[in-house]
């Protein structure tokens, strides 16, 4: 092993984000001023610089996979694409956080560095091509997010959420690590490409398969797939809403990137994917359980934030269809998953953002009744929320529709009858989901104002919501360029 400093240039965005986090932490500690309003713009700028660096390396990344640090990391287009998603989610969540924290009086400056550290973990995860870096990325991301979840110290349910998330997270990481150990023990390799080569010999070894399944379980926790979802509703509901937005999008997207990489490279062999205990078969069952459970549970919620938490479980189920399709048609199926993650990120951050925006001090206004008549008081916000709800429900011309369409297309392309059944189940689930998404719209537009809403006034927040709403519509109406980029990112 040798360390080549020149390779650091290839992980420049990651370094910028991590260094930016440290810088903000120091700045906040030593500035002495009680005014912390400069932190949010700085966070956004750091994210923007990182996105700029990512985009600049896009064309270089076309020439083969760029191996960094002896195959620990890569800087291929998949990682560039997903890094932009993580960074966008981070920047938008930061923009939402500023107003939210001021309104609810918990302006802790650590929040922004923590968001950046978590994003750094996600970026490492997105670029990880070795089981070791995968583990490192997951830990870096998770520990920062545990703290973020509990960052609203005075709110008991925030601490409760952090505790639940932490215990479940630690448990799942242990399982993941055990899986990694077994896979390493069976194969003697940690690099994903190398594992993929050795799998042809080792593919039938029980220890190898057991290790693979344990890794699957560990990642299943991170994406909140049923039956590993128990922590998610409480954690999403208890965390400050901007953090929930970040968790539901960034963390999920990062875990999905790892799943795509791991199961598209290391465990890609057909006998591992569609054998008796093949991961594609198992994930198909998990996908059905996840979307069905998520949607049915969301249907029963009167708390909008909790409803969004269950809906995000359901969306993990839809996304898993893309992963299952990857087991049948190959890495081509990554494109739709990437597109879906982008659409889902803008939509979900927006939806949680409106939830965050609506509450005021001492009164988060999460019940569906609190949304009654919002359209007559705040038409723009109601319109934005409607766009997000329609997009989550998959109604054209929003991004959510094209995402589902693209995903179902790749699933049907595999021409396996059970994939058709999977898609039909997903479609019926979408109908169920429309029922509860429209409950919010119904409350906002069709009911009379109950309690007068006193939403948060913050420029950053409004801007974030506008960006999310416009993006949700724009990539829904003109989906071509993004789906092309997503397809490029999978080559």
Partner 1 sequence: MILTLITFLPLCGALLCMLLPREEEGLLRGTAFVTALATFVASLFLLSGFNPHGWSFVVDVPWVAALGIHYHLGVDGISLWLVLLTTFLVPIVLLGSWHSINKKVREFMVTVLILETGMIGTFLALDLFMFYVFWEVMLIPMYFIIGIWGGDRRLYASIKFVLFTMVGSLLMVVAIIYLYVRHHELAHTWSFDYQELSRLVLSPHEQLFCFGAFALAFCIKIPLFPLHTWLPDAHTEAPTGGSVLLASVMLKFGTYGLLRFAIPYFPDAMAELAPLLSVLAVIGIIYGSLVAFAQKDMKKMIAYSSVAHLGFVVLGLMMWNVKAIDGAIYVMLAHGISTGGLFLCIGVLYERRHTRRIDEYGGIAAVMPRFAGVFLIITLASIGLPALCGFVGEFLVLTGTFGAYATWAGLPHFFAHPKVLALFATSGVILSAVYMLFLYQRLMYGPITHARNRELPDLSRREVMVFVPIVIMAFWLGVYPSTFLRTIDPAVDRTVAAFKIKYQAGVQATDLPKMLPEIAASPASPEGEEKR
**Residue ranges in contact with partner 1 by CB under 8 A:** 376, 390, 394-397, 401, 405-406, 408-409, 412-413, 415, 420, 423-424, 427-428, 430-431, 434-435, 438, 442, 445-447, 479-480, 483-484, 487
CB of 60 to partner 1, least distance (A): 23
CB of 51 to partner 1, least distance (A): 24
Closest CB to partner 1 among residues 170, 415: 415
Closest CB to partner 1 among residues 37, 442: 442
How far from chain centre, in Å, is Cα 398? 19
Closest CB to partner 1 among residues 105, 409: 409
Task: Compute the distance between CA of residue 356 and CA of residue 175 in angstroms, rounded to an integer.
Answer: 34
Closest CB to partner 1 among residues 181, 331: 331
Q: Assign 3-class secondary structure to the chain.
A: CCCCHHHHHHHHHHHHHHHHHHHHHHHHHHHCCCCCCCHHHHHHHHHHHHHHHHHHCCCHHHCCCCEECCCCEECCHHHHHHHHHHHHHHHHHHHHHHHHHHHCCCCCCCHHHHHHHHHHHHHHHHHECEHHHHHHHHHHHHHHHHHHHCCCCCCHHHHHHHHHHHHHHHHHHHHHHHHHHHHHHHHCCCEHHHHHHHHHHHCCCHHHHHHHHHHHHHHHHHHCCCCCCCHHHHHHHHCCHHHHHHHHHHHHHHHHHHHHHHHHHHCCCHHHHHCCCCHHHHHHHHHHHHHHHHHHHHHCCCEHHHHHHHHHHHHHHHHHHHHHHHHHHCHHHHHHHHHHHHHHHHHHHHHHHHHHHHCECCECCCEHHHHCCHHHHCHHHHHHHHHHHHHHHCCCCCHHHHHHHHHHHHHHHCCCHHHHHHHHHHHHHHHHHHHHHHHHHHHHHHCCCCCCCCCCCCHHHHHHHHHHHHHHHHHHHCCHHHHHHHHHHCC
CB of 452 to partner 1, least distance (A): 19
Closest CB to partner 1 among residues 67, 474: 474
Closest CB to partner 1 among residues 64, 480: 480
Closest CB to partner 1 among residues 15, 470: 470
**Cα→Cα distances 186→181, 247, 270, 331, Å:** 9, 34, 19, 25
| Burial class of residue 290 in the structure, from the number of CB atoms within 10 Å of its CB (0-12 exposed, 13-18 middle, 19+ buried) | buried
CB of 295 to partner 1, least distance (A): 13
Closest CB to partner 1 among residues 173, 483: 483
CB of 237 to partner 1, least distance (A): 25
CB of 368 to partner 1, least distance (A): 13
CB of 473 to partner 1, least distance (A): 12
Closest CB to partner 1 among residues 192, 328: 328
Closest CB to partner 1 among residues 132, 331: 331
CB of 294 to partner 1, least distance (A): 17
Task: Compute the distance between CA of residue 183 and CA of residue 177 in angstroms, rounded to an integer.
Answer: 10
**Cα→Cα distances 489→56, 133, 357, 446, 477, Å:** 14, 21, 34, 43, 21
Residue 349 · residue 93 · CB < 8 Å: yes
CB of 406 to partner 1, least distance (A): 8
Closest CB to partner 1 among residues 116, 422: 422
Closest CB to partner 1 among residues 275, 396: 396
Task: Compute the distance between CA of residue 433 and CA of residue 456 in angstroms, rounded to an integer.
Answer: 28
| Burial class of residue 129 in the structure, from the number of CB atoms within 10 Å of its CB (0-12 exposed, 13-18 middle, 19+ buried) | buried
Closest CB to partner 1 among residues 208, 406: 406
CB of 424 to partner 1, least distance (A): 6
CB of 483 to partner 1, least distance (A): 6
CB of 207 to partner 1, least distance (A): 38
CB of 22 to partner 1, least distance (A): 42
């Amino acid at each position: 092993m040798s360390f080549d400093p020149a390779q650091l240039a290839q992980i420049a965005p990651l370094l910028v984000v991590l260094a930016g986090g440290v810088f903000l932490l120091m700045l906040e500690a030593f500035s002495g001023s009680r005014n912390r309003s400069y932190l949010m713009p700085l966070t956004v700028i750091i994210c923007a610089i990182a996105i700029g660096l990512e985009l600049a390396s896009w064309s270089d990344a076309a020439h083969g996979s760029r191996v960094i640090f002896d195959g620990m990391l890569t800087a291929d287009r998949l990682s560039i694409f997903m890094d932009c998603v993580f960074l966008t989610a981070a920047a938008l969540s930061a923009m939402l956080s500023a107003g939210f924290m001021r309104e609810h009086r918990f302006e802790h400056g650590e929040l922004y560095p923590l968001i950046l550290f978590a994003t750094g973990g996600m970026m490492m995860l997105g670029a990880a091509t070795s089981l070791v870096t995968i583990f490192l990325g997951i830990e870096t991301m998770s520990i920062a997010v545990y703290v973020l979840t509990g960052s609203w110290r005075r709110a008991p349910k925030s601490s409760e959420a952090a505790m639940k998330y932490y215990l479940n997270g630690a448990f799942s990481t242990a399982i993941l690590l055990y899986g990694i150990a077994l896979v390493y023990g069976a194969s003697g390799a940690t690099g994903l490409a190398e594992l993929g080569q050795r799998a042809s010999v080792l593919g039938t070894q029980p220890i190898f398969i057991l290790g693979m399944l344990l890794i699957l379980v560990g990642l299943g926790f991170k994406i909140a797939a049923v039956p590993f979802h128990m922590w998610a509703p409480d954690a999403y509901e208890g965390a400050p809403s901007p953090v929930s937005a970040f968790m539901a999008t960034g963390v999920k997207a990062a875990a999905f990137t790892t799943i795509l990489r791991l199961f598209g490279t290391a465990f890609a062999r057909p006998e591992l994917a569609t054998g008796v205990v093949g991961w594609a078969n198992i994930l198909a069952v998990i996908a059905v359980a996840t979307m069905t459970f998520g949607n049915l549970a969301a249907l029963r919620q009167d708390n909008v934030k909790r409803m969004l938490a269950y809906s995000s479980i359901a969306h993990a189920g839809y996304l898993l269809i893309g992963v299952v399709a990857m087991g049948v048609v190959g890495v081509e199926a990554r494109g739709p998953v990437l597109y879906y993650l982008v659409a889902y990120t803008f939509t979900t951050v927006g939806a949680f953002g409106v939830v965050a925006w609506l509450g005021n001090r001492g009164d988060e206004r999460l019940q569906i009744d609190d949304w009654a008549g919002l359209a007559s008081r705040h038409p723009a916000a109601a319109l934005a929320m409607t766009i997000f709800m329609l997009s989550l429900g998959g109604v054209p011309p929003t991004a959510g529709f094209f995402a589902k369409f693209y995903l179902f297309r790749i699933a049907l392309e595999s021409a396996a009858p059970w994939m058709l059944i999977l898609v039909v189940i997903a479609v019926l689930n979408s109908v169920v989901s429309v029922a509860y998404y429209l409950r919010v719209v119904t409350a906002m537009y069709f009911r009379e104002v109950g309690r007068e809403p006193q939403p948060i006034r913050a420029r950053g927040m409004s801007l974030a919501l506008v960006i999310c709403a416009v993006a949700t519509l724009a990539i829904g109406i003109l989906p071509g360029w993004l789906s092309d980029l997503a397809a490029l990112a999978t080559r």
